[in-house]
Amino acid sequence: MNWLIAIFQTMLFVLLSPLLAGWIKWCKCYLQNRKAPSLLQPYRDLLKLTHKQPVVSEQASWLFVTAPYIIFSATVLAASVVPLIAVNLPTSASADVIVMVGFFAFARFFLALAGLDIGTAFGGMGSSREMTISSLAEPAMLMAIFTLTMTASTTNLSGAIAHVLNDGMVLRPSFVFALFALILVAIAETGRVPVDNPATHLELTMIHEAMILEYSGRHLALIEWASQLKLMLYGVLITNIFFPWGIAEDFTGKALGYGLLAIMGKLALLAVFLAVAETLVAKMRLFRVQEYLSFAYLLGLLGMLSHIILEASR
Amino acid sequence: MILLSAYCAVLLSFASGLLALMMNQRQTLLSISQYTINKLFNGDARCLDWVNKNLEERHFPVFLKQAVFVLLGLSGVFAVIAGLAILLGKGVITDQISLGLPWLPWHVRFDGLSGFFFFIIGIAVCAVSLYGPGYVHSYKENEHPFASLGLFTGLFVAGMLLVLLADDAFMFMIAWELMSVASYFLVAFQHENSANRSASFLYLLMAEIGALAIILGFGVLASFSDGFTFDALRESKLSETWASIAFVLAMLGFGMKAGIVPVHVWLPEAHPVAPSHISALMSGVMLKVALYGLIRFCFDLLGEVHWQWGVVLLILGTVSALGGILYAMMQPNLKRLLAYSSVENIGIIFMVLGLSMIFMANGHPQLAALGFLAALFHAFNHALFKNLLFLGAGIIQHQTHELNIDMMGGLIKGMPQTSKLFLIGCMSISSLPLFNGFVSEWLAFQTALQVDVLDNGVLRSLIPVAAAALALTAALAAACFVKVYGMIFLGQSRSSNAGKAREVKDKGMLAGPALLAGLCFFTGIFPGVIIHLINNVSGQLLGQTMPNDSALGWLWLAPVSAEQASYSPPLVLIGALIAAGVCYWYLRRNPLTVMRRAETWDCGFGGLTPRMQYSCSAFTMPFRRIFAKVWIIDEQISKDMQGAMNQDVAAVHYKLQIQDHSWPRIYQPIAQGVNSLAKQVGRIQTGNIRTYLGYSFATLLILLWVIS
């Protein structure tokens, strides 16, 4: 039964992620005085792509063709670890938060290799930049997460969230730092403004898009879906770790329903913030990203130190 | 019985070395074998035929090389058996061999720690001996005689195994020197190149300085005890100062061999110039022997560890890990890159060992056992994947005659098997889940996160920072190996050699790496097997094992407790297979959407050439800018001008030189100091016999005055 709910939750994750992407787009359009596409547009795009015949470069090897499947399934696995509507699910135990970061690294590894596989300048550029940004973002993210796991004294995400729930509303300085660090990292890792612009195809500024330039058809659909999933995953991480209220602690239908409603509400609100931020902030130069990410790292470190100095039991 | 197989391993590796010497003795061998067959088997015709066929002019070198490597492989098998047997039996075996001086027999002790390193060496030697015959085949006999290569390989392996068996300082140092000197000859094997000669000299110099430090370390211990056997050294009661002095000496000596920053400089010089299977052994295994020495010295002989030592190890390890991977990233030479990455991995091991010491000294033996486990597990993993990558580099060099990453590309098409094996190596070393590198890193993080139990505030904030440095190291390693794999195997070939490269014909050359790759994956999925073995080691050495005895111990990895952290690689694998399978099935069911091949998109300009791809230095450019202070970067761009008024650019030249800080900052001042000191001393050497007689006279007078 628990496993069924876990699988159901993962399915929900996968199915809802295009909706979140659509909602962000909708908000952004509204803020920028444009006519918004339907909320379901990302679903239509994905469906259209799966029906198209994929065109693959003559240069491409088996790695290029297999990479989308690997990227997608690694992201789905990462999603299965994160509690969406309920805590204490068995999938959270099979992999903790460090493994989740590992899944992201796995997906990124293959995405970067796929970018290099076709042997164009764009692909190499995208891979190089992606690996640079991620290698700076990963320590910052782990710093923020370690703060949390040390407070909860578990690296199990579900356990950590349950710990925050049981503690009730306590304002911890370390959590404030960690929250901001995680938000900054999430923006960098999901390729949003100001680090990367998902809507651009201008060669000098592309990062994520440069790597997947050669993909088409179902391969592109998988990669797009994986990146939407990743966006939602970071959103869920931020909301459920720092504002977990509403998440189901037992597996009754009612609790799960409330959990679903709560997370959808929280994500919708977070998406509005993201859209406002993306409308207000301009994209920064590539070599400013390091300062941005080292700031995130610093916040994570401050969070960790304030946990150790101010909050730890002795 | 166990000890017998350990001895067998040592003797077989000696034997393989001696057999290699027979390379030039074909005639003698022929007559001896004919004589013995006539005597013993009464001239059995089949035996004679077999001997004649194999000792024939043409067959003989091939046969002998195979025989040498078979013996070496058997030695590896015996080492694995001995190691496993002692680890599973949880016993300690001691023995004495009456070698050396009559009143100083060699003491032998075979326990869990030695057994574990026996196991590592055995696996590596097995893989190398599968790989060896195909690899050495390309060496020309008159330029690079197999006799010397085979002899020193055998001695090298025997030396490493003997170090692990030693139970007194004498035997330890003799074996240690055997290992160092034999590997010096292997590094100097291709000595026609002057760069190789200077690399091997540097190696020998640093190996000997390290050995001196180790001898002094043993000396400090021995001066507080009666005798040089390890049993006596264990009993010695040292004051804290003397123990710390001994620790620093051991740290310097073993650290020099292991290659931690800043005494790592020999490593990137020596490893690339040795033949690839030797670099695999040196990088994968010899560094582990140094690690064994340090563990034996600190945890076993010194007995009580101090937390300050742990901090030293932690800091040095962190610096090595970060420095190693950052330097590795900038190397265009594949084997140099792998050597620097060894520095990184040794750094990680030292870090975790330092954590283990800190926990041990603060009275948390269970967490110390966890750190110890992570360190040994990473040592095991590094032996597997670094061996794999070096053997892979050997295949690539064998097929393309190149080691410069910038001259490769597109090998995935010509060399499908090698490319898959190398990919597994790259994924393991980048610590991606499902592979073994991830498990040890996960354990390292778990150790670091237990910092809350410590009382010392400085330690509690230092260790998380080290953990974050570990995270940065892992991420940089992933970037580095994406670069390596991408530049070598993917894209279009950047040189004609790379374009023409095909898969190796020799099955053994693929079997060796395949064995290692299989083990990388297996231990990534079922880490419990290795953890069980290491638990026996830490049980013996630290008196504490890790509690992982839940009902499904092989399925779950829960080092502290199941509530705190758990990881189940088999379940993750199943999940990944289901997810990938479902989307594969769903997306491929429509026959209308079969993949179509077309030209790469070239922005409409036409004519993509291999030169337009990202190169090695282009890939790492962002890193070079971000971490600019780490290297000494010399970047020069010059333009050739032509045309009227010299305004058109005809060609652009780009030159990039990246150097390690340790040379100009540490080694050159030392070298200059030694030189100027030598000059000062040289002043008293006038070359005039009267002056020398004067010196003797003065010395005599002073001595007489002192005595009276």
pLDDT in tens, chain A (314 residues): 788 889 999 999 999 999 999 999 999 999 999 999 999 999 999 999 998 889 999 889 999 999 999 999 999 999 999 999 888 888 887 888 999 999 999 999 999 999 999 888 889 999 999 999 999 998 899 889 888 888 888 888 888 888 888 887 778 888 999 999 999 999 999 988 888 887 777 767 788 888 888 899 899 999 999 999 999 999 999 999 888 888 888 888 888 899 999 999 999 999 999 999 999 988 888 888 889 999 999 999 888 888 888 876 54
Which tokens in the block code for residue A156? 């199990």
- Is B613 close to A125, i.e. CB distance below 8 A? no
Segment B283-296 mean pLDDT: 94
pLDDT at B553 over 90: no
Pinpoint the alpha helices (H) of B223-306. 230-235, 240-258, 266-273, 276-281, 287-295
**Which one has a higher pLDDT value, B602 or B318?**
B318
Which range (B13-27, B158-172, B275-289) has the least confidence? B13-27
* pLDDT tops 70 at residue B552: no
* The pLDDT of residue B43: 66
Distance CA A196, CA A285 (A): 9
Q: Do B468 and A53 touch (CB under 8 A)?
A: no
- On whether any CB of chain A is under 8 Å from the CB of B469, the answer is yes
pLDDT score of A209? 86
Query: With an 8 Å Cβ cutoff, is A156 touching chain B?
Result: yes
User: Which one of A142, A156, A312 has the shortest CB-CB distance to B566?
Assistant: A156
Residue in A73, A155, A297 closest to B580 by CB: A73
Choose the weakest-confidence range: A96-105, B43-52, B389-398: B43-52
Q: Convert the pLDDT of each residue in B361-384 to its tens digit.
A: 998 888 899 999 999 999 999 999
The minimum CA-CA distance between A13 and chain B, rounded to whole Å, is: 13
Q: Is B97 on the interface with A (CB under 8 A)?
A: no
Per-residue pLDDT reduced to its tens digit, B495-518: 888 888 899 888 889 999 999 999
Residue B551: per-residue pLDDT: 46
Q: Does B479 touch chain A (CB under 8 A)?
A: yes
Which one of B325, B563, B600 makes the best mutation probe of the A interface by having the most chain A beta carbons within 10 Å?
B600
Using pLDDT thresholds of 50, 70 and 90, give the confidence band for residue B82.
very high
* Yes or no, beta carbons of A102 and B625 under 8 Å apart: no
The whole-number pLDDT of residue A42 equals: 94
Specify the 3-state DSSP secondary structure of A269.
Answer: helix
The residue behind tokens 């300690």 is: B92
Task: Report the percent of chain B where pLDDT is more than 90.
Answer: 51
Q: Is residue B550 pLDDT above 70, yes or no?
A: no
Burial class (CB in 10 A: 0-12, 13-18, 19+), B203: buried
Mark out the alpha helices in A82-172 (DSSP H runs): 90-94, 97-117, 121-152, 157-167
CA A215 – CA A217 distance, rounded (Å): 7
Q: How far is CA B291 from CA A11, B74, B141, B253, B349, in A?
A: 47, 25, 36, 11, 9
Across the range B437-454, mean pLDDT stands at 89
The per-residue pLDDT for A164 is 87
Domain span at A65: 2-311
- Please check whether residue A134 touches B, CB under 8 A: yes
pLDDT the model gives residue A170: 76
pLDDT for position A166? 86
The rounded distance, in Å, linking the Cα atoms of B229 and B427 is 43
Mean pLDDT of chain B, nearest integer? 89
Q: Is pLDDT at B273 greater than 50 in this prediction?
A: yes
Is residue B51 predicted with pLDDT exceeding 80? Answer: no
- C-alpha to C-alpha distance for B422 and B399, rounded to whole angstroms: 15
Residue B562 scores a pLDDT above 70: no
User: Within an 8 Å CB–CB cutoff, is residue A260 touching chain B?
Assistant: no
* DSSP code of residue B630: G
Q: What total of structural domains would you count in chain A? A: 1
Q: Closest Cα to residue B388, out of B343, B350, B341?
A: B341
pLDDT of residue B554: 65
Average confidence (pLDDT) over B579-594: 82
Contact map slice: A 14-73 vs B, CB within 8 A:
50-59, 61-63, 65, 69-70, 72-73
Rounded-to-integer distance, Cα B297 and Cα B233, Å? 10
pLDDT at B682: 86
